[in-house]
């Protein structure tokens, strides 16, 4: 659970939970205020909301992306996560800048994360590509800049994200420590405020700490009920590194009821008990677990639901049930580079996994699945 001393809070007569009532909100849809997510202080001294808006989505580009970001801002999201690899930085930036011009938000109240892609690990490319990303976003600085993956890919041109030859992905032997050192220079130049990692394992995080002058403020990894990565999360917490959780729902699939915890009788019971959706219950659980989930959504209803999780708290018994779900296999594997020495994941994992857990694996009724499932979480990074 995130220690309360790290959360920025504000008392409010209508709620007993910690929350931010930012100074930039305007009345929307008849509401007198917008309730925003609490914030956690990073080791760099800056604050980050404990819930973010993810933008990786197969078709979350162009008008669909800008519309989703507009909706997220007006709903109350202030933490936005994108990446060079998602190819939507321009869309995200355009929507945020428009909201600033409309007076709905200020730049200082936005926490914007983007990432350095694998084809730009060469230290000579880091500043150049970051400048390009700043132009795409339309801002003068990035709040959090992450090293997307420890394995570097061969750079052919900026537009080729996965360089292939004879059916094989072309990688490099660039040491991620050298890349990290180049990212540290971006902080000194004022181009980014904080830097962190993504998809790094415990040993790799430790090596970054030992071999550089600054430690990461964040490690963004896959976390969801059934794949909580407790050892990694505990290690990061011990070192003052915040864990951001992608794929926070485990990529629910209605057709095969996977992962089954999401569609189980146990989850159905929680939905009735708390009068919240399955997605809201999971997000509340993850925030209390001490990670920062970044669910993605394009549906305005789901966007609103994802933020509306700070007016309830799970009972200890329900939290224990979610903590006790039998461990599953990871979803995002990057198997195509599993032979690289910097590959961060276990190499003997099977491609398929079974969901067996203590939430009673009986699927929800069809109409209840459709009313409670946040089905925007189709891919997770």
**Annotated catalytic sites, by residue?**
86
Q: In angstroms, rounded to a whole number, what is the distance separating the alpha carbons of residues 145 and 176?
A: 14
| Residue 103 parent element (H or E) | none
For the chain, the distance separating the N- and C-terminal CA atoms, rounded to the nearest angstrom, is 23
What tokens were used for 173?
């032997």
The residues facing 81 across adjacent strands are: 54, 113
| Residue 75 parent element (H or E) | helix 62-75
3-state secondary structure of 71: helix
**Is 68:97 a contact under the CB 8 Å cutoff?**
no
The residues facing 372 across adjacent strands are: none
Q: In angstroms, rounded to a whole number, what is the distance separating the alpha carbons of residues 283 and 291?
A: 10
Residue where the block lists tokens 């079974």: 354
Is it true that the peptide bond before 368 is cis, omega within 30 degrees of 0? no
246 — phi, psi (to 5°)?
-95, 165
What tokens were used for 17?
């939970």
* Number of H-type helices and E-type strands within the chain: 11, 13
Burial of 327 (0-12, 13-18, 19+ CB in 10 A): exposed
CA-CA distances (angstroms) from residue 108 to 38, 48, 140, 307, 308? 16, 11, 12, 20, 23
Q: In angstroms, rounded to a whole number, what is the distance separating the alpha carbons of residues 266 and 234?
A: 27
Who contacts 210 (Cβ-Cβ below 8 Å, separation ≥6)?
none
| DSSP code, position 363 | P
103 — phi, psi (to 5°)?
85, 10
Q: In angstroms, rounded to a whole number, what is the distance separating the alpha carbons of residues 336 and 351?
A: 12
């Amino acid at each position: 659970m995130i220690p309360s001393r790290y959360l920025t809070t504000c008392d409010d007569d209508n709620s007993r939970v910690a929350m931010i009532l930012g100074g930039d909100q305007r009345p929307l849809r008849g509401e007198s205020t917008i309730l925003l997510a609490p914030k956690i202080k990073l080791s760099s001294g800056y604050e980050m909301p404990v819930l973010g808006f993810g933008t990786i989505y197969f078709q979350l580009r162009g008008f669909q992306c800008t519309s989703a970001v507009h909706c997220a801002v007006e709903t109350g999201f202030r933490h936005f996560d994108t990446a060079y690899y998602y190819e939507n930085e321009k869309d995200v930036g355009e929507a945020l800048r428009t909201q600033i011009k409309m007076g709905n938000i200020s730049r200082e109240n936005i926490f914007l994360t983007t990432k350095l892609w694998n084809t730009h690990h060469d230290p000579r490319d880091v500043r150049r590509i970051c400048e390009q990303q700043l132009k795409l976003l339309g801002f003068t600085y990035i709040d959090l800049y992450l090293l997307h993956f420890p394995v570097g890919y061969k750079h052919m041109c900026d537009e080729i994200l996965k360089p292939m030859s004879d059916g094989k992905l072309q990688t490099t032997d660039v040491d991620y420590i050298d890349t990290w050192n180049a990212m540290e220079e971006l902080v000194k130049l004022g181009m980014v405020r904080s830097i962190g990692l993504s998809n790094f394992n415990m040993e790799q995080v430790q090596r970054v700490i030992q071999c550089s002058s600054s430690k990461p403020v964040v490690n963004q990894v896959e976390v969801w009920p059934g794949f909580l990565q407790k050892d990694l999360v505990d290690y990061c917490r011990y070192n003052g590194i915040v864990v951001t959780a992608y794929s926070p729902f485990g990529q629910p699939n209605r057709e095969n009821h996977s992962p089954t915890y999401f569609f189980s009788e146990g989850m159905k019971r929680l939905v009735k008990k708390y009068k919240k959706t399955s997605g809201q219950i999971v997000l509340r659980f993850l925030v209390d677990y001490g990670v920062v989930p970044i669910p993605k959504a394009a549906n305005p209803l789901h966007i609103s639901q994802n933020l509306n999780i700070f007016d309830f708290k799970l009972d200890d018994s329900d939290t224990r049930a979610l903590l006790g779900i039998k461990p599953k296999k990871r979803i995002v594997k990057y198997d195509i580079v599993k032979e690289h020495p910097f590959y961060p994941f276990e190499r003997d994992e099977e491609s398929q996994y079974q969901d067996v857990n203590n939430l009673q694996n009986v699927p929800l009724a069809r109409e209840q699945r459709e009313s409670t499932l946040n089905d925007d979480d189709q891919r997770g990074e």
